[in-house]
Structure formats: structure tokens, C-alpha cells
């Protein structure tokens, strides 16, 4: 398969790698199972074992929950999930079109403080190798989260060849 372009918001294009999934969805709780199934499938295509695939599912599920609960405050709204593969990582782009969130408020809490809630961000950071909030393309509102997880060693591109 050839490298493709991710058109995450209908605007500027980012060259990112091989496209595995693009899904526009209404950000509500009843879509989460479908998202988990699709993410697990994409992880399998990249050669992740079941434990790493489960970790990726956890991260994307929690990131989607943040959109549902915090960005759209439970009222629903458009979001786009893209999953791509580059030479050595699987990359997840998650874009919502809500008001920009205050990044200062997105912090994992201390696990020593045992209380309900506040674990989602910790899970995402614990299982992913990279977690970044990007600027959405010019003229497009919302929040754009990029997650990356390294591929298993034997699935990485070596000298341009995948094993």
C-alpha cells in the first residue's frame, strides 16, 4: 500500500503515512463500542499483539470519552477519528469541533489520591508513547489530539522494507 494523506478537517493536508481508518462520528456514548472494535482491527493490521492492541483501544476510548464528556459536555457533536501507520508507529488523530479546551486543565491526577474519576488522561499517557495536542488546520475550529504508539520491533520499516 502506498502512503496517503490525511485530510483531517476538510482543510489542510498532513502527510502522515498509510491510512488504516477514517471515521466521522457523533460523539455520544453509544458509539464507543464500534470505535473500540475498529481500533482493535487497525491495531491487528499493524501487527500488535492482543495486549498492546487492548492498550491502544483503552487510549482511543478514553480520548473519545473526553470529547463526549468535556468538549461537547454530553450534548453530542461531530468528531473525526483517523488511524495511520508510518514507518515505526501507529498514529491516531482525533479531531472535535467544539470550543478549544484549556490544555492546562488536562492533567493526569495523582494515583495516590483514590477517588472516582479523573483516570482517563492517566490511562492515555500510560499506554501511548506520544500524546500531543496539535493546532487544528487554519480556519478549522476545535481540538486535535495526536497519539502515537511504536510498532512491535519486527513490524517496523527497516531500510524502507516492512518485515
Separation of alpha carbons 5 and 103, rounded Å: 27
For another protein, give the closer residue by CB, 21 or 32: 32
Q: Which helix (H) or strand (E) holds 80?
A: strand 78-85
Site size toward another protein (CB under 8 A) is 27
Alpha-carbon Rg of the chain, whole angstroms? 16
DSSP output for 89-111: EEEEEEEE-SSPP-GGG--PPPT
φ/ψ bin of 62: left (φ > 0), alpha (ψ from -120 to 50), beta (otherwise): alpha
Per DSSP, the three-state class of 54 is helix
**CB 60, min distance to another protein, A:** 11
Number of H helices, E strands in the chain: 3, 8
For another protein, give the closer residue by CB, 4 or 121: 121
Q: Which stretch binds another protein (CB under 8 A): 16-24, 77-85, 93-101, 119-127?
A: 119-127
**CB 163, min distance to another protein, A:** 27
Burial of 53 (0-12, 13-18, 19+ CB in 10 A): buried
**CB 79, min distance to another protein, A:** 14
**CB 93, min distance to another protein, A:** 21
Q: Which helix (H) or strand (E) holds 52?
A: helix 50-66
Block residue for cell numbers 479531531: 95
Q: Which stretch binds another protein (CB under 8 A): 92-100, 107-115, 141-149, 153-161?
A: 107-115
Contacts to another protein from residues 26-65, by CB under 8 A: 29-30, 32-33, 36, 51, 54-55, 57-58, 61-62, 65
**CB 29, min distance to another protein, A:** 4
Residues that bind another protein (CB under 8 A): 29-30, 32-33, 36, 51, 54-55, 57-58, 61-62, 65, 68-69, 111, 114-120, 122-123, 126-127
Amino acid at each position: 500500500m502506498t502512503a496517503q494523506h490525511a485530510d483531517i478537517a476538510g482543510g489542510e493536508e498532513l502527510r502522515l503515512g498509510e491510512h488504516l481508518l477514517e471515521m466521522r462520528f457523533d460523539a455520544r456514548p453509544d458509539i464507543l463500542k464500534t470505535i473500540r472494535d475498529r481500533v482493535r482491527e487497525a491495531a491487528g493490521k499493524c501487527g500488535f499483539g492482543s495486549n498492546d492492541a487492548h492498550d491502544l483501544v483503552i487510549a482511543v476510548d478514553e480520548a473519545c470519552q473526553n470529547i463526549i464528556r468535556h468538549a461537547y459536555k454530553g450534548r453530542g457533536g461531530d468528531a473525526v477519528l483517523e488511524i495511520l501507520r508510518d514507518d515505526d508507529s501507529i498514529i491516531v488523530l482525533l479531531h472535535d469541533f467544539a470550543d478549544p479546551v484549556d490544555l492546562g486543565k488536562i492533567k493526569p491526577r495523582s494515583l495516590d489520591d483514590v477517588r472516582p474519576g479523573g483516570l482517563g488522561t492517566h490511562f492515555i499517557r500510560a499506554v501511548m508513547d506520544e500524546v500531543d495536542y496539535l493546532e487544528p488546520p487554519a480556519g478549522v475550529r476545535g481540538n486535535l489530539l495526536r497519539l502515537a504508539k511504536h510498532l512491535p520491533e519486527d513490524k517496523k520499516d527497516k531500510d524502507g522494507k516492512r518485515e
